[in-house]
Amino acid sequence: MIENRSMSISNFDSSNFQIPIIMSIEKKSLFKIKRGLDFSDASSIYVSFVSLIPSDLYLRHENGRIIIEKNDQTILFQQDATFKLIFDYEKDFVAIQAINLPDYFYLAVDNEEHSNLILKKCEKQTTINELDQRFLFKIIPAT
């Protein structure tokens, strides 16, 4: 069920910074949301996802995959690790959009069995109400 998803890493190895990020209903979140490393306007909310331990690893996109990597302070890294939140206030969901891709790329769950996070392109400009469930997430306080 979508309300129970949390972002986690399976088989975390601190020497391997390019492991897939998994959505899980069994594990607690290993990331916190902070103000985006890169943001271009104050009319939207831009966020980055930083790991709790160690605290210098970020989710970023690369070749359509979501990976975890150390911040190398480059502009490209900052853009790849910054996402725009799009809200559905009625249903309390968010969609998460990549900010530095020219088309409509959103964070999505690849499939329900493996639950890998990927970036998925929508063919046209889409409202949050038109996105299917694999694009929708809830932001819940850590427990």
Tokens 């594990």 belong to residue: 27
Residue 140 is assigned to a structural domain of this protein: no
Q: What tokens were used for 132?
A: 């299917």
Range 125-136 average pLDDT: 86
Residue 81 is assigned to a structural domain of this protein: yes
- Is 27 or 49 the better-scoring residue by pLDDT? 49
Residue 10 is assigned to a structural domain of this protein: yes
Q: Distance of alpha carbon 73 from its chain centroid, rounded?
A: 19
Q: What tokens were used for 74?
A: 């480059």
Domain count across the chain? 1
Using one digit for the tens of pLDDT, what is the confidence trace for 59-112? 999 887 888 889 999 999 999 999 999 988 888 888 899 998 877 788 887 765
Residue 132 scores a pLDDT above 50: yes
Residue 17 scores a pLDDT above 60: no
In whole angstroms, give the CA distance from residue 40 to residue 78: 12
Residue 21 scores a pLDDT above 80: no
Residue 2 scores a pLDDT above 70: no
| Residues 51, 31 contacting (CB under 8 angstroms) | yes
Q: What tokens were used for 105?
A: 């790329």
Domain region containing 15:
2-135
Residue 142 is assigned to a structural domain of this protein: no
Using one digit for the tens of pLDDT, what is the confidence trace for 31-57? 788 889 987 678 888 989 888 777 788
Residue 141 is assigned to a structural domain of this protein: no
Residue 56 is assigned to a structural domain of this protein: yes
CATH number of the domain that 88 lies in?
A: 2.80.10.50
pTM for the whole thing? 0.79
